[in-house]
């Protein structure tokens, strides 16, 4: 059985991404870090798209690694365990980026191509 994303499901996932984006903005605010840092790094995770220069499989792996909450939160936890002052601001920036992407309809990539995502928005 093939499942497709319904408009209602897509709206729900986009709203969830927007809520996560707002929560990450609040976490960044609480960190006390400079908003210049936020502005400088908010699009940095998209550098993972350079993996597509090595093909769609490697590109999807690189992109998904930095656009998935689990690895990002694991990095944040490691930084926190190491007592790094960068733990909260960097994690908040990465989570904000993922939330922003999801709110705009960008999802995790399938190895079949960049526009094939888990959200089925662009396929």
Query: Do the Cβ atoms of 71 and 21 come closer than 8 Å?
Result: no
**74 in a domain, yes or no?**
yes
Task: Write down the pLDDT at residue 102.
Answer: 92
**1 in a domain, yes or no?**
no
Q: How far apart are CA 32 and CA 98, in angstroms?
A: 21
Task: Write down the pLDDT at residue 116.
Answer: 63
Domain count, the chain: 1
Closest to 95 in 3D by CA, of 70, 59, 121: 70
The pTM (predicted TM-score) of the whole model is 0.87
**4 in a domain, yes or no?**
no
- Which residue range(s) make up the domain with 104? 10-117
Strands (DSSP E) found in the chain: 109-110, 113-117
**94 in a domain, yes or no?**
yes
**122 in a domain, yes or no?**
no
Per-residue pLDDT of the chain (123 residues; tens, 9 = 90+): 455 667 788 888 899 999 999 999 999 999 999 999 999 999 999 999 999 999 999 999 999 999 999 999 999 999 999 999 999 999 999 999 999 999 998 878 777 766 666 666 444
Residues 6+ apart with CB under 8 A from 56: 111, 112, 113, 114
């Amino acid at each position: 059985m093939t499942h497709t994303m319904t408009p209602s499901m897509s709206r729900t996932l986009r709203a969830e991404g927007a809520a996560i984006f707002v929560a990450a903005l609040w976490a960044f605010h609480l960190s006390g870090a400079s908003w210049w840092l936020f502005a400088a790094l908010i699009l940095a995770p998209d550098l993972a798209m350079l993996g597509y220069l090595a093909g769609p499989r490697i590109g999807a792996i690189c992109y998904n690694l930095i656009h998935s909450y689990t690895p990002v939160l694991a990095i944040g936890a490691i930084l926190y365990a190491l007592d790094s002052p960068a733990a909260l601001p960097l994690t908040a920036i990465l989570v904000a980026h993922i939330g922003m992407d999801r709110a705009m309809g960008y999802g995790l990539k399938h190895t079949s191509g960049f526009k094939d995502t888990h959200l089925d928005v662009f396929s």
